Structure 1
Amino acid sequence: MSDRFTTRVLDVSTGHTETVTDLTRPCEQFLSEVAAGRDGLLNLFVPHATAGIAVIETGAGSDHDLLAALHTLLPADDRWEHRHGSPGHGRDHVLPAFVPPHATLPVLDGHLRLGTWQSVCLIDTNKDNPERQVRLSFLG
């Protein structure tokens, strides 16, 4: 594989609660190993039908606000036709339409170039699947 393109799978344990998991540090660690001061793009992809990637502020309540907003938009009740798993699990399968399973971010001089308050996060509302994978790919 070319050193211009490198990919790795990150295993993430999200547990049995709805979570916003900050992936910024693992992304930076990946880039420190593979980007070597180069410019390029970091792509994140979640190969799951019930999780997504968001670039948001964390630590100031925005992560909780996001989960609350998703509860308003996608209530965990019996309205969903997709009915296996926990009650309201059908909403988890609609989540990627609102929080996509991917993001592509700029890398300059081997580092993510996020805004001051931005973090890259895994959004997981599926209480039935506590283990996730995120594919990190650097092209540069």
Structure 2
Amino acid sequence: MRLSLETTERLAVTDVTARVADAVPDDVERGVCTVFVPHTTAGVTINEAEAGLITDVEDALARLVPDADYAHDAVDDNAAAHLRGSLLGPSASVPVSEGSLDLGTWQSVLFVECDGPRTRSLDVRVAPTVGRDDA
């Protein structure tokens, strides 16, 4: 399933857990849900969706990869966004149990915009698993 997301800031973290959870079919007893961001200037991660931590993630990314004079900026002035997206990665996988995301107590699926504002896509795919459950 492809989800659409509107971003309003250059660098921003958005909790997409509920939208991803809604995309998981109820009849999947066990499986893996993969969230993939088909953009080179955005990423996805699993972390706590607490407001202070979200601000900390945004600030840390800005400090780790400051807006500077990068070679790619001559093409479209967004090299920092590409570098931040590379650090985050384009996907995250979450186990599925009984039709629900099997996240830890404080875990959320977070979309990270690095080159906004934009309209973005998130691909959510669920692969059922079969066999013994050794967990």
Under TM normalisation by the shorter chain, which class is it?
Answer: 0.7 to 0.9
Cα shift at 1:37: 4.7
Q: Does 2:14 align with 1:25?
A: no
TM-score between the two structures when normalised by the length of structure 2: 0.87
Q: Residue 39 of structure 2: which of 29, 33, 48 is its match?
A: 48
Structure 2: segments with no counterpart, 5+ residues: 129-135
In the TM superposition, what are the counterparts of 1:76-95 in structure 2 within 5 Å?
76-78=67-69, 80-83=70-73, 84-86=75-77, 89-95=78-84
Aligned-partner residue type, residue 28 of structure 1: A
- 1:35–1:138 CA contact under 8 A, matched in 2: no
Instruction: Please provide the CA RMSD for this pair.
Output: 1.4
**1:80-110 deviations in Å (ceiling 9; x for gaps):** 1111445xx2111112321000011100111
Give the number of aligned pairs. Answer: 127
TM-score between the two structures when normalised by the length of structure 1: 0.84
Structure 1 residue runs of 4+, over 2 Å off? Answer: none
Aligned-partner residue type, residue 109 of structure 1: E
1:57 is matched with 48
Q: Does 2:109 align with 1:120?
A: yes
* Matches of 1:126 and 1:60, distance apart in 2: 20
2:2 is matched with 9
Q: Residue 126 of structure 2: which of 115, 134, 138 is its match?
A: 138
Q: Residue 67 of structure 1: which of 38, 58, 64 is its match?
A: 58
Q: Does 2:42 align with 1:36?
A: no
Aligned-partner residue type, residue 112 of structure 2: I
- 1:53–1:103 CA contact under 8 A, matched in 2: yes
* Matches of 2:58 and 2:79, distance apart in 1: 16
* Matches of 2:72 and 2:124, distance apart in 1: 30
1:107 is matched with 96
